[in-house]
Amino acid sequence: MRRLLLASAIVLTTSSPANAREFKVCADPNNLPFSNAKGEGFENQIVCIIAAELRAKISWVWHAQRRGNVRETLNAGLCDLIPGVASSLETLGTTRPYYRSTYVTVTRAGPLSDVRSFDDPRLAGLRIGVQLVGDDGANTPPAHALSKRGLAGNLRGYTIYGDYSGANPQAPIIEAVAQGELDLAFVWGPTAGYFSRQPERQLHLNPVEPQSDGPALPMVFDISMGIRRSDLQLKREIEGALRKRAGEIEAVLRKFGVPLIGPRSN
């Protein structure tokens, strides 16, 4: 299944007026809460808001968002836009950010529910979950921060790509906390917010503090729409739609439990 997703781009067109412009969007077909082929992710919904404002019909180009995704999709001309990319990403152009979120701690109700800092002395005796990026197990900022503090032996890694043979490949790190396999986890906020919503789990989320563990390890990220650097007119149009529909977009993010952080203080 994974090889099939990586090798194939399946285009699915949404219903719109016959004379509408085409808006090709590359997205992952199995990556909730962000996107899936059923249109159930918050990025699916935000793209639909933008397309409605631009009076465009959407052609979804499904491609697993692994390493090399930008090169193989947007920069190869398969699509015009990739939603939900870090504003600082250098391999493509980016719009103005449409949300800003943070890594969070995920804990069960109890004495650890106030943990926020990598310097909390309680971490030394805990089983800690962290997300990993890439098939080579590249580390996320929390994993680097904890390893720097001599806590590598406490860490349990969960790839953000997960097992594509089933639904919700990003859920296992949250399930491990809920079931007591982990004492806590440091998780990207949108993922944590979505999979922690079940009331029976009684999970607590706290934004990591401080927002940066030194200049090279930010814990808070601005998120933009990704476009080709040369598509300046499209960038202006998308940014106009993001401004005009900002209230609707924020409502979608909050519905999905995305932790939203205010603008960076000067």
Residue 63: pLDDT above 60?
yes
Residues with Cβ within 8 Å of residue 36, at least 6 apart in sequence: 28, 29, 30, 44
Average pLDDT, rounded, for the chain:
89
pTM of the predicted structure, to 2 decimals: 0.89
- Do 170 and 129 reside in the same domain of the chain? yes
Residues 180 and 135 in one domain: yes
E strand spans, the chain: 10-13, 21-27, 30-31, 35-36, 56-62, 82-86, 93-94, 99-108, 128-133, 138-139, 155-159, 184-188, 203-207, 220-227
| Same domain as 126, residue 195 | yes
- Write out the residue range of the structural domain in which residue 240 sits: 2-99+222-255
Q: What pLDDT band is residue 2 in, cutting at 50, 70 and 90? A: very low
What's the pLDDT at 170?
92
- Distance of alpha carbon 39 from alpha carbon 202, whole angstroms: 28
User: What pLDDT, in 10s, does the model give residues 111-165?
Assistant: 999 999 999 999 999 999 999 986 555 789 999 999 999 999 999 999 887 667 7
Instruction: Work out the percent of the chain whose per-residue pLDDT is above 70.
Output: 89
- On whether residue 212 sits in a domain, the answer given is no
196 and 130 in one domain? yes
Residues 95 and 105 in one domain: no
Q: Do 52 and 37 have their domain in common? A: yes
Instruction: Establish if 15 belongs to a structural domain.
Output: yes
Number of domains in the chain: 2
Residues 227, 191, single domain; the answer is no
Q: What CATH number is given to the structural domain containing 79? A: 3.40.190.10
Residue 237 has pLDDT above 50, yes or no: yes
Query: Is 110 inside any structural domain?
Result: yes
Is residue 84, in this structure, part of any structural domain at all?
A: yes
pLDDT in tens, 248-257: 999 999 999 9
Give me 18's structure tokens: 């016959």
pLDDT the model gives residue 213: 94
Residue 11 pLDDT greater than 60, yes or no: no
pLDDT at residue number 10: 38
In a domain, 199, yes or no: yes
